[in-house]
Amino acid sequence: MKKLLIISLVLLISAITQAQEKSFLDINYVEVTTKADREVVPDKIYLSVTISEKENKGKISVEKQEKEMIKKLKDAGIDVEKNLSVSDMTGFYQKYILRKDQIMAEKKYQLIVPSAEMMAKVFASLESAGISDIKVIKSEVSDIDSVKEDVMRKASLKARKQADVIAGALGREIDKMVYFQSYDNFGSAATRYARQEVLAYSKAADSADEVVPDFEKIRVEHTIYVRFSLK
């Protein structure tokens, strides 16, 4: 009895599946594939700043350099309480023995700036204080979720518009969506790791003005494949 019941259920499921496939194939539809994209300027740029001292004649201590760095950052308009932090877990600088009579101490920081313009300004300010070991770690878009929604909406509207054009050219009208798939690259777009290790800074040949780095924009893309039934 149980065996007959199982066989009956299998036959019923198979019949339903075939009926659904047949009904779907009987539908007149139009299908389109569209893509939308948007380039966004990063608004969170992560920098690594290292200050160091060599314990020999004429040294400048890490503590003194740290105070000068904080002053320079504040003068540049950086909220150090919010955007500057010590990179290592302990919060203390590390000491490295270079030779028997020479020890180097260093301390690493993470600094977040909102733009390439501010990045260039910070670099110039710290360089004037003798701090030049600055590296770009990564860049991010803080409101990436709203960017995702905007690009997805544009791709969807574009798909509907193209379907309307195709259906109209054939003397038909779009009814409703019966199937869709979507693909995006948001995972890799939210965070962009810097290709270069050392932040390049230069000055114009005939001007004292700072040259603002042309920071790479982050591209957000969305592709949608959709089928619309026809009236």
In order of their start, the domains of the chain are 27-41+142-190+208-231 (3.30.110.170), 44-140 (3.30.70.120)
Residue closest to 138 by CA, chosen among 119, 123, 121: 119
pLDDT digit string (tens) for 54-82?
A: 654 457 778 888 899 999 999 999 999 99
Residue closest to 151 by CA, chosen among 48, 51, 36, 69: 36
Comparison of pLDDT for 98 and 158, the residue scoring more: 158
Alpha carbon of residue 177 to chain centroid: 32
pLDDT digit string (tens) for 147-193?
A: 999 999 999 999 999 999 999 998 999 988 899 898 887 654 455 55
Question: Which residue is associated with the tokens 């302990």?
Answer: 90
For the chain, give the number of residues. Answer: 231
The residues, ordered by sequence, that sit 6+ positions from 34 with a Cβ below 8 Å of its Cβ are 155, 158, 159, 162, 223, 224
Q: Distance between CA atoms of 26 and 118, rounded to whole angstroms?
A: 61
Residue closest to 47 by CA, chosen among 125, 150, 157: 125
**pTM summary value:** 0.66
